[in-house]
Amino acid sequence: MTNRRDFLKKAGIGAAATVATVNAPYVHAAKKTTIKWRLQTYAGAALAEHVIKPSIDNFNKAANGEMVIELYTADQLVPTGELFRAMQRGTIDAVQSDDDSMAAPVDVSVFGGYFPFATRYSLDVPVLFNQYGLNEIWEEAYNEIENVKWLSAGSWDPCHFNTVKPIRSLADLKGLRLYTFPSAGKFLSRFGVVPVSIPYEDAEVAVQTGELDGMAWSGITEDYTVGWANVTKYFLTNNITGAWIGSFFANEKQYDALPEHLKTLLKLAMDSSHYNRQHWYWGGEAKLRVSGTKLQLTSIPDSEWATVEQEALKFWDEVSKQSPRSAKVIKILKEYAGVMSKAGRPYRYS
């Protein structure tokens, strides 16, 4: 009987507790605030659909409501030349661009975009960064800049010429007003090219109005994708660089505030973007040369184009004098070029 009374007492206490729990008001768990970033790419709307939007869409889906990256295209929030400062101030949270065209105040910015003949093929870019030390050099350079975090570099398309006039010799470059990158323009001016800087989305109209004679900005894939093949007639098969070097950057305070799992997810999204661009351009360049109907292909003879390659080496030596870090990059580029040349086919054909 004693045991039975104890059981009933304890059961009563448990029942009362259960009733109290059932009748208690429901309290909603505090809902986490979604992290929102604004990322602006240097690419125009048509190009961004291929080179960044799929990766950002996938990131947003995988982040499952914890974070959303809002994507803006070239000059949509701020002009491309002001991207760096806007990110540094926190006006925007992240950027996809080359160092050169967004005027990054670091000595390595000259190598971003199209540094003449630094790369021959798209795979050269990830190899240089991951196996030859450019990752560490870029990190070092941007660590000296307040509130900007360099995140990752990848390759885009090669730098060819699409123009309204045919180019079949170096003499044909003289006087051409071309939309191009700052460092590429500085180099091409040695051959009489007149570099022109305008907003990305204005380039097509500038050709139609006669302000431009064409572009030295991309490969043939971009020419067709963004509409430049509709307003120019010729595509030069010679290029001054085999792959553009572009990067992802972020406002450092915003990046540091991310939990580690979102930083990892962001890295995976960037790697996905790099990979997608690489095969999209590589395949597109060949296919459109063969089956494209809008641009006529022209070439400058190899013997004459060798003059441009030799001039590029002089340009390299001049840049190496700008800073000890620039000299270090040039040394790596020369070492890499030597390895590729000695390796022979398929790494280098000449």
* DSSP secondary structure letters along 260-275: HHHHHHHHHHHHHHHH
Q: What is the pLDDT of residue 349?
A: 79
Q: Domain for residue 9, yes or no? A: no
Tell the burial category of 190 from Cβ atoms under 10 Å away from its Cβ (0-12, 13-18, 19+): middle
CA 70 – CA 34 distance, rounded (Å):
12
CA 102 – CA 83 distance, rounded (Å):
6
CA 128 – CA 237 distance, rounded (Å):
24
For the full predicted model, state whether its pTM sits above 0.85.
yes
CATH number of the domain bearing residue 142: 3.40.190.170
CA 342 – CA 340 distance, rounded (Å):
6
Q: Domain for residue 103, yes or no? A: yes
Q: Domain for residue 254, yes or no? A: yes
Tell the burial category of 17 from Cβ atoms under 10 Å away from its Cβ (0-12, 13-18, 19+): exposed
Q: Domain for residue 309, yes or no? A: no
Q: Domain for residue 255, yes or no? A: yes
Q: Domain for residue 247, yes or no? A: yes
Q: What is the pLDDT of residue 201?
A: 92
Q: What is the pLDDT of residue 17?
A: 44
Q: What is the pLDDT of residue 31?
A: 60
Q: Domain for residue 110, yes or no? A: yes
Place of tokens 């915003």: 254
- The torsion angle over the Cα atoms of residues 194, 196, 200 and 206, rounded to 10 degrees, is -80
Q: What is the pLDDT of residue 15?
A: 45
DSSP 84-127: HHHHHHTSSSEEEE-TTTTT-SSGGGGGSB--TTS-SSTTHHHH
Q: What is the pLDDT of residue 11?
A: 45
- Identify whether 25 is preceded by a cis peptide bond (ω within 30 of 0): no
Q: Which residues contact 36 (CB under 8 A, 6 or more apart)?
A: 67, 68, 69, 70
Q: What is the pLDDT of residue 32?
A: 76
Q: Are 284 and 278 in contact (CB under 8 A)?
A: no
Structural domain containing residue 63: 35-156+243-293
Number of domains in the chain: 1
Q: What is the pLDDT of residue 26?
A: 52
Encode the chain (350 residues) as per-residue pLDDT tens digits: 444 344 334 544 444 444 444 455 555 555 679 999 999 999 999 999 999 999 999 999 999 999 999 999 999 999 999 999 999 999 999 999 999 999 999 999 999 999 999 999 999 999 999 999 999 999 999 999 999 999 999 999 999 999 999 999 999 999 999 999 999 999 999 999 999 999 999 999 999 999 999 999 999 999 999 999 999 999 999 999 999 999 999 999 999 999 999 999 999 999 999 999 999 999 999 999 999 999 999 999 999 999 999 999 999 999 999 999 999 999 999 999 999 999 999 999 76
Q: What are the phi and psi torsion angles at 209 (to 5°)?
A: -85, -5
Q: Domain for residue 8, yes or no? A: no
Strand bridging mode 159-163 / 148-155: unpaired
Q: What is the pLDDT of residue 23?
A: 53
CA 34 – CA 24 distance, rounded (Å):
30
Residue 316, CA atoms < 13 Å, CB-side half-sphere = 20
Residue 61, CA atoms < 13 Å, CB-side half-sphere = 7
Q: What is the pLDDT of residue 25?
A: 53
